Amino acid sequence: MELKYNVLVVEDEKNIASFIRTVLEANSFNVIVAKNGGEAELMIKSHLPDIIILDLGLPDIDGMSIIKSVRQWSTVPIVVVSARTDENDKVEALDAGADDYVTKPFGTAELLARVRTALRHARNSESPLAGSDGKFVSGELTVDYDKRRVYIGGNDIHLTQNEYKIVSLLSKCAGKVLTYDNIMKQIWGPNFQSDNQILRVNMANIRRKMEEDPAEPKYIFTELGVGYRMIEAE
């Protein structure tokens, strides 16, 4: 199963939103669209996209306030696409936390290049333990951030989207304990209200797929009452 990047497009102009969706879906991205700022704020917290493409000129909320709001709790890449060409607008958006600024109109190649670059920069900044080839390696375990795949001894471990996100998150903090709450907020969003049951179920499935003996794990360890820890990188 291919694990695709999830993109939230925040754009009130239907033809532009449709164009961006068509381009991205043709290049193996999952796309959801918000037509105003209110929808965007809800979708960001409920869907936790891998990247946001944001128009500043929304009908209800200025896109700049969305950037500032998101940056209070998330480092998700934000690529602004805007008809505003004034240099001050670009500087303000980038200073607020946007990763890139694309001026309308733009072409297919430019859009894809900006999106891929933002994702790559985010991966590199979040994954200091990854090698230059974008992989975390420890023993027979390999987490390939570009392909969004996990391998044990060269064999592809078929994880779901959330299972991959959990393994990827733990690998980016390898050797450190991540609390249950920390993991749940980063995987399911800051407003997620639940006990640890959904996380325990996902972790049981991950261990069943990754570990020779789930009762004696080699890769992901439980810190009782606290959280989980990934084996350190080689």
Region 133-144: mean pLDDT is 89
Query: Which pLDDT score, from 0 to 100, does residue 133 have?
Result: 63
- Half-sphere exposure (CA, 13 Å, Cβ side) for 132? 0
pLDDT tier at 36, thresholds 50, 70, 90: very high
pLDDT tier at 1, thresholds 50, 70, 90: low
Please report how the helices 14-25 and 108-126 are oriented relative to each other, as an axis angle in degrees rounded to 10.
70
Query: Selecting from 1.10.10.60, 3.40.50.280, 1.10.3080.10, 1.10.10.10, what CATH number does the domain 135-230 have?
Result: 1.10.10.10
pLDDT tier at 126, thresholds 50, 70, 90: low
Instruction: Please check the confidence at residue 79 and state whether its pLDDT lies above 90.
Output: yes
Instruction: Please check the confidence at residue 99 and state whether its pLDDT lies above 70.
Output: yes
Which residues does 225 contact at the CB level (< 8 Å), separation at least 6? none
Question: From CA 72, how far away is CA 94, in angstroms rounded?
Answer: 15
Query: Selecting from 3.60.15.10, 3.40.50.720, 3.40.47.10, 3.40.50.2300, what CATH number does the domain 6-126 have?
Result: 3.40.50.2300
Comparing 85-94, 103-112, 117-126, the range with the smallest average pLDDT is 117-126
pLDDT tier at 233, thresholds 50, 70, 90: confident
Instruction: Please check the confidence at residue 195 and state whether its pLDDT lies above 90.
Output: no
